[in-house]
Each structure stands twice: as structure tokens, then as C-alpha cells.
Structure 1
Amino acid sequence: MIEIENLRVERDGTPVLHDLSLSLPSGGITALIGPNGAGKSTLLLAMAGLVSPMAGRVRLDGCDLHAMRPQARALRLAFLGQDQAQASRLTVRDLVGFGRWPHHRGRPGPADQAAVAGALSLFGLNELAERPVSSLSGGQRQRSQIAMAHAQATPLVLLDEPLSALDPRYAREVMEALVAMSHDAVAPRSVVVVLHDLGMATRYADRVVALKQGHLAASGPRREVMRDRVLSDLFDTGLKLREVEGADVVLPA
């Protein structure tokens, strides 16, 4: 379980998150939504222990994330931010293998190799495994990075706009892979993902956290948050949720 209590964060002296409190149960996908500048990426960074709050705390299963040593934190959560840089000579397999570093510390074994192989397969990267990362398209690089986070095998996975470089086919396949890992029968993971595509949040999220101007606007199961009035107030424009061919979509009102 993730517990956030009275979290206040400033960036360059400007308040970004204001006394934010919420709890997220283990497992499933939580979508962070909201207009630009709402504080979604900052909240994700705070949940990863990568920005220090001015006040409040973030706990994972009762442990204060900001009090953990980096090595211990890397075994509890995987974080994928925007614009991740990689060395040009890395292959896709090498990149995905970096997700195993907190486990083997330079001495990979059969379990690490199996985890990398599973991540390559889950995200459709087997044919690209020996290609240099520098030769990939933006979408292929994005999938490789998400596979690296998967290979880290942590109970919490934090992803900041992982669909930004993906075409509709791969965006759908990535979300379906995230659903599979978050509902795995043996080791389900908690996935928290920043999404700008409201249709993806409506279709795949178990829970939705909505932020506006650094404040918590709404939080709860997807069907409680993804409603006409909530979305229209959140984005200051008329929006409506409608069913089209069996799937919920967000349309202009």
C-alpha cells in the first residue's frame, strides 16, 4: 500500500504540491491525470523518493521512502521518467538487463537472465534484442525502457507518460502488458502511470488520481472519477464519457 500524508513539494521555490494526502492499495493500475502543470510528474518523483518534500511523507507498505537507502529503494520500486538517456552502444538486451542491477550488483545469474527474457517477450522486443538502442525509433526505445522497469521486478512501478512516443497499436499493447503485470496471479505489482490520453485511463486504469494546480481534485475507482462533471471541472472544458462499441471514450461535450 502507498500512503501519502500532507505532502508539500516546492520546485525552485515555487509550490507545486499542496498538502496532498491519499492512499493507494496494492496491485492494479493507478492513472494520474490532470491538466498541464497540475503536479503529476512531481508527485511521481516524490513517490520515487527523488524529490524531497517540504512537509509530509510517502510510505510504501509502512516504510518511509525518503528514509530508505537508494539500494533498498531500488528493490522496492522502479521509476521511469521522461527523456531517459542511454549510452549509444547499448543493445536492447543490455538496457533491459540494467533493471536487474539492484538484484545482482554486477553478477547476473540464471534468475536475472530469465527476468530479462521475460521482459523482452512481454513487450514484444525479442526481434530487437541485439539491436543498438541508438538505432531504434522513439517508440521502440520507449518500450525498451518500460521493459527495463519490468525486469527490475519491484512491487511498485512508477511510469511518467510511457505512451508519449507510441503509436496506437503499441500504446494499446503496452497498457495491456501493464494490466497483465499488475494483476499477475503470483506477484501482482502496483503500477502508477501518468497519462494524458483519457481514453487509455478510462479503458485500463483500476483507479484514477486527478490533480489540478497541485491539489487533489479526485481519487478513487475509475468509474467514480471518470465522470462528465469531474472531467469537465478538472480540465475547464466540457467533456463527456460515452460508450462506443462497448468501450468508454471521452468526448467533447
Structure 2
Amino acid sequence: MIGCQELNYSTGGKRILDRVSASAPSGAITALVGPNGAGKSTLLAMLGRMLVPDSGMIRLGGENAAALARAAFARRVTTLRQATRITPRLTVRDLVGFGRYPHNPGHLTAADRKIVDACLQDLALSDLAERHLDTLSGGQQQRALIAMALAQETEVLLLDEPLNNLDLTHARRVMQILAQRSRSGRTVVTVLHDLTIAARFADHVIAVKDGQVLNEGAPATVFTPEVLSQLYDAQVEVHLIDGKPVILPI
């Protein structure tokens, strides 16, 4: 489990997070949803210790995350942010191999290479493994970054809009892989803008608006017309198909 208590954060004279308390359960996918500028990416970055809150606490399991050494934290939590910079002349295999760095800095073992191969296969990248990153499409680069994050094999996986640039087939594949990881006991927290995908795959939802948690709970309790209309300041319809919500703006 990873979560936070009473997080506050301001930058440029603007309050971005205001007394945010929330938690992502173990063995589940938690979707962070809300309008643009709500504070979702900032919250995810703080959970991954990429940003330092003005006040409040991040908890990893029962521990204060700030008290953990950075190397120890990196072996337990992976964060993939938006617009992650990559070196163009790296190969896909090299990039995915970087995911093993917290465990074996500078030298991949046979076990590491096996994990890299498995992640390449999971993301349908095996045929592209020796290609340089600057020869790939945006969607292929995004899948390579996700494969790198998966290769780290941490107990917590934090992903900021991982479905950017992905077509329908690969978006579904990524969410299925994340669901598999969560069923094996890992904690997955991901920012998602497609609410129907969030409703299909998430076990837990945190709805953020204006730097505060508006609602938190199971998809059935968050993905209602009343909550979503308040969240997005727009009328929203929710229809059930095979027991899963499909969300449509009116």
C-alpha cells in the first residue's frame, strides 16, 4: 500500500495540493482521475518522491517514505512520469535494461536479461529490441518506457498517463498487463483520462479536483453521474454494459 496524509504543496504562489489524504491498496489498480490541472500528476510525483511536499507525509506500507534511503525506495517504487526524456541513440533493449539499474547498477545479470526479454515480449517490442529509439513512433517509444518501468519489478508502480500515444489495441494490452501485475500483489497507481478504461480496469479510484480529493472508493461509488458531473463541471451519463460503467458527456 502507498498513500499520503494531509499533503500540501504550492508553487509560484499557487496552492496545487490542499490537505490531500488518500491511499492506494495493495494488489489493486488505483486510477487517479479528474480535470486538467486538478493536481493528479503532482500527487503522483509526490508519491514517487519526485517532489517534496510543503507538509504532510507519504507512507509506503507502514513506513514513512521520506525516511527510506533513495536506493532502497527505488527498489520498491517505480515512477514513470509524462514526457520522460530518453537518449535517442539508445536501443529499445538498452532502455528497458535501465529498469534493472536499482537492483544491479552497471551490470545486467542473466536473471536481469531474462526479465528484460519478458518485458519486451509483454509490450510487443521483441521485434524492435535492437532499434534505436529515434527510429520509433511515439506510441512505440511510450511502450518502451512502460517496459522499462515494468522491468524494475517493484512492489509499487506509479504511471502518469501511460496510455498517451497508444492505439486502442496497445492501450488495452497495457491495462491487461497492469491488471496481471496487480493480481500478483503489486500496487499500481495510474493517472487516466479515459474514464471508461478506468472503470473497466481500476479496482479503486481517487477523484481529484482543485487540488483536493473530491471522492475516493470503488469505481461504482465514484463513477456516478452525480460525482462525475461535479468533478468535471459538466453533465455526464453513466451506462452499464456487462456490469461495467461506460461514461459519456451529455
Band of TM-score, shorter chain: over 0.9
Task: Say yes or no: does 1:218 pair with 2:215.
Answer: yes
Report what 1:84 is aligned to.
84
Cα deviation, residue 90, structure 1: 0.7
- Give the letter aligned to residue 95 of structure 1: L
Report what 1:5 is aligned to.
5
Answer yes or no: is the 8 Å Cα contact 2:228–2:236 preserved in 1.
yes
233, 236, 247: which one aligns with 1:236:
233
Mapped to 2, the partners of 1:245 and 1:219 lie a distance apart of: 23
SS in 1 for 2:21: strand
Report what 1:74 is aligned to.
74
User: For structure 2, which runs of at least 5 residues remain unmatched after alignment?
Assistant: none
Mapped to 2, the partners of 1:252 and 1:89 lie a distance apart of: 43
Cα deviation, residue 165, structure 1: 0.8
241, 246, 250: which one aligns with 2:247:
250
166, 186, 189: which one aligns with 2:186:
189
Task: Say yes or no: does 1:206 pair with 2:203.
Answer: yes
Answer yes or no: is the 8 Å Cα contact 2:17–2:43 preserved in 1.
yes
Cα deviation, residue 155, structure 1: 0.3
| 1:52-110 Cα shifts (integer Å, max 9, x gaps) | 11110001012222232221111010010011111111111100000000001112112
Mapped to 1, the partners of 2:220 and 2:240 lie a distance apart of: 13
Mapped to 2, the partners of 1:205 and 1:25 lie a distance apart of: 11
SS in 1 for 2:213: strand
| 1:166-217 Cα shifts (integer Å, max 9, x gaps) | 1111111111111111112xxx211100001111111111110000000100
Mapped to 2, the partners of 1:130 and 1:147 lie a distance apart of: 14
SS in 2 for 1:104: coil
User: For structure 1, which runs of at least 5 residues remain unmatched after alignment?
Assistant: none
Report what 1:120 is aligned to.
120
Mapped to 2, the partners of 1:98 and 1:201 lie a distance apart of: 29
Cα deviation, residue 114, structure 1: 1.3
What's the C-alpha RMSD, in Å, of the aligned pairs? 1.2
Give the aligned length: 250
Answer yes or no: is the 8 Å Cα contact 1:48–1:65 preserved in 2.
no
SS in 2 for 1:96: helix
